[in-house]
Structure 1
Amino acid sequence: MIPYGGKALVPYVTGGITADWTSYVLAYEAAGADAIEIGLPFSDPMLDGVTIQQASDRALARGATVDGILADLSEIKVGVPLIAMTYANLVFRAGPAVFCRRLAGAGITGLIVPDLPVDEAAAVSAAAADAGVALILLAAPVTPDDRLAEIGARSRGFVYAVSLMGTTGERDTLDASASRLATRVKAVTDLPVLIGFGVSTPAQAATAAESADGVVVASALMRRVLDGATPDDVRTDVAALRAALG
């Protein structure tokens, strides 16, 4: 899912945030994204900060649904992996097997469920594997070593290293805990390790990539979209991140 040897860039877009939201997906690909994270909006995104909450609220107000977002994705051709990000409520409401098959049917090959702890992930993990979807697990700065090893062993595609304890959101600086966590995770898994939560600028992305295998960038891009940036505008932003990562 994530290329080895280079530094991976995974930008995020909230599905349904605008009428032409899939144009942002295509712009990300054109700008050099290695994979693209698609947020399936949820009414109570507990790990997301103000920006992603606002993006989700806007999408839901427009009538965005999981089915509608997946239908939109089915109508475009994307040459990089697509990764869904959503909350456990939506996964279990449909049932993990049905939910993961729906993702696969729309061309999605990865799934992130930030409120699904590793010791409760067995059913979703099995359903995802059966559907050909990689369940990507999260590690946090306070995750103990034994649990970190389990996350490294059970994650698929890559391990998502949360840069700090808190919610998503733009940051002026990258927390030093990000580098320490990436180093700890890389010691227990051969999977790529990507840093997310708070990576906001090309300089921060480059700093994160010194210890990690790449970055996930979400809130900084969604703030631009919420403020009216077009797909062409955001393509320039993603291209700058790509250039910083090499």
Structure 2
Amino acid sequence: MTRISQALENKNAFIGFAVAGYPDFEKSAKYIVDMAEAGADLIEIGIAFSDPSADGPTIMNADQEVLENGSTTADVFNLVAEVRKHTDVPLVFLTYTNPVFKYGYEKFLSKMQSLDIQGVIMPDMPMEEQDEFLELVHQYGRDFIQLVTLQSGNRLPKIVERASGFIYVVSSLGITGSRSKLSNEADEIVTKIKRLTDLPVAVGFGITTYDQAKQFESADAIIVGSALVKIIEDHPEDATSYLTDFIKNMKGARHATN
């Protein structure tokens, strides 16, 4: 069992998300630590990219601001090094293929290993093109988190077979961002996945409210991204108490389902 699986094994876990370097690198590191201290069981760190195809306007705007400030992948690793001085919460990167390829697959994974970053999510890497990267992921003892969508259909068993760490179920069609209503189809997919694997299953995309956090009872975890980035956007200088209150509220919702 990997550290990710251990972190999510209590069946009511909360996964938070932050854009590395937003609103700046010093505060970004602090807010990631704050999320961990508020009870986040795992934190995704997004690496800003110019064409984040899976992300909605809130995260895209944060990415754009970070890139305009000249952020590099090396800066992101420096941020993680700072975070690691204060917390050992499991971390995963959410990024895209291009930045990792440019940095060098093996160099990237080696750096992840040295900084105790447990896994990586790359939503734009097609399953048919993953073999080389997967081999290196296993070589460096990292996890490659696979995404399952409402349209995965017959591909589901093959996606699950390639996954490690946890499986990320996209709760709705489209891009990240708040939604007033979420489909129950994701719950059905979670049930199908659990017939195929013992890996934890997390549901994300659009989860914003207490009731939405309670909605996916079958999932081992929920993932919240845009709502947390929006809190930082609204309170760039003093987001700590707002992040803490939000995460504790969402964790309360998860405990209420189990």
**TM-score computed with the length of structure 1 as normaliser:** 0.94
Paired amino acid for 2:137: A
Task: Please show how residues 1-246 of structure 1 align to structure 2 within 5 Å.
Answer: 1-2=4-5, 3-19=8-24, 20-75=27-82, 76-145=85-154, 147-208=155-216, 210-228=217-235, 230-246=239-255
Q: Secondary structure at the match of 2:202?
A: strand
| C-alpha distance in structure 2 between counterparts of 1:14 and 1:66, whole Å | 12
| C-alpha distance in structure 2 between counterparts of 1:148 and 1:77, whole Å | 38
| C-alpha distance in structure 1 between counterparts of 2:88 and 2:106, whole Å | 25
Paired amino acid for 2:242: D
- The percentage of counterpart residues that share the same residue type is 34
Post-superposition offset of 1:99: 1.4
**Residues 169 and 202 in structure 2, CA contact (< 8 A), matched pair in contact too:** yes
Paired amino acid for 1:173: K
Gaps of 5+ in 1: none
Gaps of 5+ in 2: none
Post-superposition offset of 1:138: 0.5
**Residues 73 and 103 in structure 2, CA contact (< 8 A), matched pair in contact too:** no
| C-alpha distance in structure 2 between counterparts of 1:241 and 1:201, whole Å | 7
CA-based RMSD of the aligned residues comes to: 1.4
Report how many residues are paired. Answer: 244
Q: Secondary structure at the match of 1:137?
A: strand
Q: Secondary structure at the match of 2:9?
A: coil
Post-superposition offset of 1:6: 2.5
CA displacement, residues 26-78 of structure 1 (integer Å, 9 cap, x when unaligned): 11111111110000110110111111101111211222221111112112332
Post-superposition offset of 1:94: 2.1
| C-alpha distance in structure 2 between counterparts of 1:202 and 1:67, whole Å | 36
| C-alpha distance in structure 2 between counterparts of 1:226 and 1:178, whole Å | 29
| C-alpha distance in structure 2 between counterparts of 1:183 and 1:27, whole Å | 33
